[in-house]
Structures are given as structure tokens and as C-alpha cells.
Amino acid sequence: MAKKTKTRRSRFADDAALQALVRFGPEETGLQALAQQARADYGVSVRQAQNTGDLTLAAAKEAIPAVAKIYDQAGLDQAKTASLVSPELAALTGPAAGVMQRGGALEVAQQLANLRSSKASALEDLNTRQVAARQGQQFGVLNARQKFEADMQKILAQSQGLAQQKGAFTASTINSLLQSSLERGVKKRGQDKTAEAAQARVSATLRGQDLSHADRVASRKAQAAKDAKTTLPGGVKLNAQSMHGRVTDQVKSLESWIRTHKSAFGSRARMAQVLLEGRPAQTLDDPDNPGVKLKVPAIPKAPSQLALQAALDVVYNGGVSNGTAREFHRRGYSVQMLGLPAGTKIKPPPKRSRRAAARVPGIGSARR
């Protein structure tokens, strides 16, 4: 299988891609670095939040046994103190002995209750710290994730905008390179043709020859044939094919309507008058049936008197009359190109000699 060669546009596409890489490469690299930094920051923030929460949890868990042990030891010490004082209080006699014994018992009980309450409050505080540490850990991870998503959205938006700019730059560069190549090709071809023409003139000068009489006659015939395609007899400029087609459509439409309604309007003059004026659709009373409405269709208005005249000629006379054909000719239309049946062939108006013009009133007398 033969190896495919690169086309001019694909070669320019490679050049444009390289230019776009040089221009937008640093910005793309910067955005990639920002994305990597955002991922790294996200990982660091998550690890910091997790580590901080884990340390707080571990510290709280380690503190619970120690705190409980401290309060337990305080309770034992209080119990020992009470055990030392209780025998002495029990040995007291007299009227105040009962009061002192009851006061000592109440004080010991109150101190033990205070120790239990302080122990419960301390342990509850440590448990609360554990819960707060876990919540702080979750909040830190969530905050890091939200920040990472916001940063990545900004980077993605910048990347999309940069990609659009890069695409537009690449397309513009391709078109510019292609246009420059085409202009260089045109310039080179022009230089080649100029050089060839100069060489031909030099060769003709050296040979001592010029265009022969036969060449001049052939050139005049070619020019005459070219003029014949764009002019009518008498030198009238021929209209474009699109203008002929528009007039043909107008004449054919009028011809079809006239053939359909010919019997209703009678004479050609009446038909011409109706189509020149036109009439919108109407609703009239039926003279034979009172109360009944008759819908009278619209009558189209002829786009031009010449088109109407040609349509009437075709319908009533079987072909375009000489007068209509001359008017078409005067306006730059060929009856043959219009596709209409014609009468006699149009002849260009005869040229008047000076002697004949002198016999025409208003021409020769004016010169005299």
C-alpha cells in the first residue's frame, strides 16, 4: 500500500499546533501545576485533620483511667481518714456526743459525694472532648474537600477558556498559513507568466515576426463570437439568464390564467383591462338566490404590461407579435431565450445615411 503524503492543510495544521504549543504551553503547564498543588494541599489538610483528631482522641482515652484512678485514690484516702476519726467520735459521751457523731458522719458522706460528683464531671468532660475531637476531624476533612473542589473548579474553568483560545488560535493560524501559501503560489505563477511573456516577446523580436494577418482575423472573429453571446442584433446588451427566467415565469403564469378564464371575459381588450387592474377576492350576494353569498376569486394583477401583452399574444394569436418582440428586444430580452413562440425574425433597425437623415424633418434642417 502506497504511503499517504501529507496535504498542504495537514502540514499547516502541524505548524499551527506547534505555534499554539509554544504560545499556550506555559499556561497549560501552570494550570497542571496548580492542579497538582491543589491535590497535595488536599492530602495534607486531610492528614492534618485526621492526625489532630486521632491525637486528641488518644489523649482523652489515656486520661480517663488516670483521672479515675486519682479520684479512686482520693476516695480511699478519705475513707482512711474517716476510719481514723470514727472510733474517737464513737468513744465520746455526754449530751453533745450524738451531735458530733452525726456531724462527722454527714461530713464524711458529703466529702465522698463530692468526690463522686467531681469524678463523674471529669470523666464526662473527657468523653465530650473525644466527641469534639471526632467532630473536628470530620469538619477538617469536609472543609479540605470543599476547598479542593472549589480550587479544581476554578482550574477547570481556566483550562476550558485556555482550550478555546488555543483552538481559535490554531484555526486562525492554519487559515493564515494557507492564505499566505496561496498568495505565494499566485505571485509565483504571475512571475512565471510574466517571464514566459517576456521570453515570447524576445523570441518574436529576434525572429522579426509579429502576429500575422490570419491571427488578427481569427482574433477579431473570436471577439465577435464572444460579443454575440452577450448582445442582441443592433448592439443591445443581453440581460442575464436569471432575468429571462423571471420574465418567462411571469408570462407563463398569465398565459395559464388567461386560458382558464378566457371564456368568462370574452374579448382580448376586456381580458387586458381586467389583468392590468387586478382585483382581490370578494364575497357578493347571489342575485338569483337572495341571502346566499358567492365567493368571487381574486384576479391577479399583471406584473408588467409587456408580460401581459406577450401572454395575450400567445393565447389569442398563437405567438408573440412583432411589436411585442421588438419591445422585448429593446429591453434586452431574447424571445428565443424566453421560450416563447415568435412570429417573424427580428431585424436590427437600418442605419440612416447622412443623405437620408437630411431628408428627415428636424435632422437635416437643424444641421443647415
pLDDT of res. 170: 84
Mean pLDDT, rounded, for 210-233: 63
Lowest mean pLDDT among 58-62, 101-105, 339-343: 101-105
CA 177 to chain centre: 24
Distances (CA, A) of 117 to 57, 63, 68, 309: 23, 17, 12, 122
Query: In terms of Cα–Cα distance, which of 312, 327, 319 is closest to 343?
Result: 319
Task: Find out whether 49 and 207 touch, Cβ atoms under 8 Å.
Answer: no
Between residues 218 and 344, the one the model is more confident about: 218
% pLDDT > 90, the chain: 4
Mean pLDDT, rounded, for 173-195: 79
Kindly tell me if the per-residue pLDDT of 223 is higher than 80: no
Lowest mean pLDDT among 114-123, 127-136, 203-212, 320-329: 203-212
> How many other CB atoms are there within 10 angstroms of residue 100's CB atom?
13
Kindly tell me if the per-residue pLDDT of 364 is higher than 50: no
Lowest mean pLDDT among 107-116, 220-229, 345-354: 345-354
Kindly tell me if the per-residue pLDDT of 288 is higher than 80: no
Kindly tell me if the per-residue pLDDT of 324 is higher than 80: yes
pLDDT of res. 89: 57
Residue 365: band (very low, low, confident or very high) from pLDDT cuts 50, 70, 90: very low
Strands (E), 233-292: 236-237, 282-285
Which residues, including other chains, have CB under 8 Å from residue 134's CB and lie 6 or more apart? 53, 57
pLDDT of res. 286: 74
Residue 248: band (very low, low, confident or very high) from pLDDT cuts 50, 70, 90: very high
Mean pLDDT, rounded, for 222-240: 69
Residue 127: band (very low, low, confident or very high) from pLDDT cuts 50, 70, 90: confident
> How many other CB atoms are there within 10 angstroms of residue 97's CB atom?
13
Record the cell numbers describing residue 114, joined without a space.
Answer: 463530692
